[in-house]
Amino acid sequence: MIKLEKINMIFGEGTPDRNHVLRDVDLQINKGDFITIIGSNGAGKTTLFNVVSGNKRPSSGKVIVNNKDVTNHPEYKRAKYIGRIFQDPLLGTAGNMSISDNMLVAGNKGFKGLKISLNRKKREYFREQLKYLDIELENRMSDNVGMLSGGQRQALTLLMMSLSRPELVLLDEHTAALDPRNASKVMELTDKFIDEYGFTVMMITHNMQHAIDNGNRLLMMDEGRIILDISGEEKNSMTVESLIKKFHDIRNKDFATDKTLLS
């Protein structure tokens, strides 16, 4: 469905700060895949998402979606079929607007006209959808989103993203900024949405156990390369220890990241 061909990303080309962040990345994402991605800090995971979503253009290589080369399509165009949730809960919603207005802006992707589309029927629909989150937001639809907690806000972002049923969902450590209780609540909701709508998902996480427990496929990145791509039985039989050992065997060094080891 989505294919990356020989993606290279170089920041600061021609300067002393030249940084080769993605190196010849090839990846085929199949419909229905739930891919978890782990890798040390600075491995290039977020940059990979930026390239897929169109936020950054790669230095070379191609992004192909449904056999069409979209490498040069701007981010807002790709947003019609790619949904993305960031680590920062503030990025997904507008804090100065009410919950229902936020949902309205998210409801149908693409350019918005001079229609006034928030009517009773829409509100009822939004209320139903909010109930589904099970965090009582349905009673606060007129409240500004800025008044919600990070966890509530991220749950709302998840719901808003789902409203448009994107073909690919990108989750970039979307629970990392939340406290443990909210993090597990949002993760629970994420699983629920993925099950319900059969989304194709890529999820970056620093929690190796999460990466093993979730999804059907696991990628490990290091220094701009995908160094491990496992699925099925091979993935299911992994443990955190065997994953770390695997990393060591491939890269001949220790898996180093400040956040991973104890989680």
Partner 1 sequence: MIEGIIVEGLIYGIMALGVFLSFRVLDFPDLSVDGTFPLGAAVMAICLTGGMNMGLALLVSFTAGFIAGGITAVIHNKLGVPSLLAGILTMTMLWSINIRVLGSRANLPLLRTETILTSIRTLGEATIGETAALLIFFVIVVLIIKLLLDLFFHTDLGLTMGAMGDNEQMIISQGVNPEMVKIIGVGLSNGLVAISGAFAAQYQGFADVNLGQGIVVSGLAMVMLGEFLFSSNRIGLLTLRVILGAILYKAIMFFGRYYGYYINLTPNDLKLLTGLLIILSLILTKYRSKSLKFRRPAND
Ligand X SMILES: Nc1ncnc2c1ncn2[C@@H]1O[C@H](COP(=O)(O)OP(=O)(O)OP(=O)(O)O)[C@@H](O)[C@H]1O
**Contacting residues toward Mg ion, per CB under 5 A:** 46
Residue 45, interface with ligand X (CB under 6 A)?
yes
Residue 205, interface with ligand X (CB under 6 A)?
no
Please identify, among the stretches 42-50, 65-73, 156-164, 194-202, the one whose residues bind ligand X according to the rule CB under 6 A.
42-50
Nearer to Mg ion by C-beta: 45 or 185?
Answer: 45
| Chosen from ligand X, partner 1, Mg ion, none, partner binding at 44 (C-beta under 5 to 8 Å by type) | ligand X
Nearer to partner 1 by C-beta: 97 or 227?
Answer: 97
| Chosen from ligand X, Mg ion, partner 1, none, partner binding at 43 (C-beta under 5 to 8 Å by type) | ligand X
Distances (CA, A) of 244 to 40, 87, 104, 249: 11, 24, 44, 9
In the complex, the smallest distance separating the C-beta of residue 150 from Mg ion, rounded to whole angstroms, is: 18
Figure out which of the listed residues 38, 43, 52, 85 binds ligand X, where binding follows CB under 6 A.
43
Nearer to ligand X by C-beta: 62 or 225?
Answer: 225
Q: Which helix (H) or strand (E) holds 121?
A: helix 120-133
Chain residues that interact with partner 1, rule: CB under 8 A: 74-77, 79-80, 83-84, 86, 90-98, 100-102, 104-106, 109-118, 123, 141-144, 161, 164
Nearest in space to 72 (alpha carbons), one of 45, 94, 54, 46: 54
Q: Which helix (H) or strand (E) holds 200?
A: strand 200-204
- CB–CB of 37/225 below 8 Å? no
Task: Copy the structure tokens of residue 215.
Answer: 């999804």
Nearest in space to 78 (alpha carbons), one of 171, 168, 154, 202: 168
| Chosen from ligand X, Mg ion, partner 1, none, partner binding at 197 (C-beta under 5 to 8 Å by type) | none
Regarding beta strands 68-69 and 82-85, do their DSSP bridges make them parallel or antiparallel, or are they unpaired?
unpaired
Site for ligand X (CB under 6 A): how many residues?
A: 11
Q: What angle do CA 108, 105, 98 make, to 5 degrees?
A: 145
